[in-house]
Structure 1
Amino acid sequence: MSEFVVSGRFQDRTGYRQFEKSVEATNENVAREHTLAQLGSEHGLKRTQVEIEGVTAA
């Protein structure tokens, strides 16, 4: 598996917060899905509240 860095922002009570997560996945799409699931679990976010700006291979 490869390591990807997913960056973007999500909607918070006070506005938007930037994030950058390092994820191990087989491809970029799987890395996006893992990030959405992780942010939803940690912060109680829905997928529509998360904006992924980029996925790069680390």
Structure 2
Amino acid sequence: MSVYTVSGRFQIREGWQAFETEIEAANEDVAEEHTYSEMGSRHNLKRAQVEVEEVEAA
């Protein structure tokens, strides 16, 4: 498995907050899915409240 850096933004009360996280996954699509799951778990967000802008191999 490879490590991917996923960046984007998520919705907060005042607008949007940028984020960047590293995810270990089999490919870019799986890394994006894990990011949605992680952001939802940590911040109680729905998928519509998270915008993934870039996924790149670290």
What TM-score, normalized by structure 2, do the two folds share?
0.98
What's 2:12 paired with?
12
- Runs ≥4 residues deviating over 4 A: none
Equivalent position amino acid for 1:48 in 2? A
Q: CA RMSD in A?
A: 0.4
% of aligned pairs identical? Answer: 59
Structure 2 segments unaligned to the other structure (5+ residues): none
What stretches of structure 1 of length at least 5 have no aligned partner?
A: none
The alpha-carbon deviation at position 16 of structure 1 amounts to: 0.1
1:26-56 CA-to-partner distances (Å, cap 9, x unmatched) read: 0000000000000000000000010000000
TM-score (norm 1): 0.98
**Number of paired residues?**
58
